[in-house]
Amino acid sequence: MSVLSPEQRGDLAEQMLPVAAHLAVLVHGDGGPEDVREVLDGLDAGQKDALLVVLAGLVDPEQPVGKALGWLDFNEHGSMVVPSWSEHSSVRDLAPEPADTLDDDYVDEVAVQRFVRGLPVDVTDAEFLTAVQHCVAMGMTLADLDQLHGWRRKTAETWVNRLKKRYQRSGRQFPKLSGVRKFTEDEVIAIRERSAEGATDLELAMSFGTNAGTIGGVCRGRTYPQYGGPIRQPKVKPGRNSRTVWSESTPGFLEKAS
């Protein structure tokens, strides 16, 4: 499958879905080992690789092991071969732990910004965590990330939890994902200057990895008052004092009344 394009791999996986369903019903009682062997013998190496991917995709890794495999009660010797239905550990818990090595700490900010905007981009673990920090600062949740990228529910949460374990095993402190975004003096000045030039708070929030409310505070000088840059002046709403009060003593009153 390595020589195929992503589109070709997707097409092949789709072709293997009926085969995966056939194997499922065979294994669940509609057939035996000979039937399974017959199905597999009719596939080439690439099709078998795709079949494995499809079969893995049919299993929910978060469901309890007892629910996933509880139908396999006993083997041919009469011994129970899987946990009972009361077993609550997940299928994921049976998977071997990944290697403790982490990706390089280098972060491509362009990739991070594309990720934050929901655009298709491949990111490393370090870039993913940086993007999560930006999204959390903008008021987003991990569930919002799933929706933003069209992922299955809890995909972002699972990625974060997996990285937490790898950081712990590596003896490294896991990055803080929450908190108020801090800006340097140059960033504050840049935000205020771009705002004065017409950039919206939302545009600036996306550029600097925060939310529009935080940007508004920076532009109005409520935060970082010690730094320079053009301060946004409050809008003056017309009040009673700005209106002309007409009376008989007002010059021109009689002319206007007539």
- Distance between CA 208 and CA 216 in Å, rounded? 13
Give the CA distances from residue 158 to residues 21, 93, 130, 142, 151, in Å, rounded to whole numbers and listed in that order. 27, 13, 16, 10, 11
Q: What is the predicted pLDDT for the residue at 209? A: 72
- Structure tokens of 184? 């340097």
- Has residue 184 got a pLDDT over 70? yes
How much is the average pLDDT of 149-160?
90
The model's confidence at residue 253, banded by pLDDT at 50, 70 and 90, is very low
Provide the residue type at 32 as one letter: G
For residue range 186-227, list pLDDT tens digits in order: 999 999 999 999 999 888 887 787 777 788 889 999 889 999
Neighbours of 210 (CB within 10 A): 24
Q: How far is residue 74's CA from residue 78's CA, in Å, rounded to a whole number?
A: 5
Confidence check: pLDDT of 232 > 80: yes
Which amino acid type is present at position 2?
S
DSSP line for 196-219 = HTT--HHHHHHHHTS-HHHHHHHH
Containing 13, the helix (H) or strand (E) segment is: helix 6-25
Q: Which of 53-62, 85-94, 166-175 has the lowest mean pLDDT?
A: 85-94
pLDDT of 258 over the 50 cut:
no
The pLDDT of residue 197: 94
pLDDT value at position 74? 52
Q: How much is the pLDDT for 73?
A: 54
What does each C-alpha distance from 57 to 14, 17, 211, 245, 248 come to in angstroms? 12, 10, 36, 75, 85
Strand partners, 115: none
**Least confident piece of the model among 47-51, 96-100, 123-127, 130-134:** 96-100
Question: Tens of pLDDT along 58-95?
Answer: 777 776 765 666 555 555 555 545 444 455 555 455 45
Query: What local confidence, expressed as pLDDT, does residue 186 receive?
Result: 93
Task: Quote the pLDDT of residue 41.
Answer: 86
pLDDT-derived band at 97, boundaries 50, 70, 90 = low
Is pLDDT above 60 for 23? yes
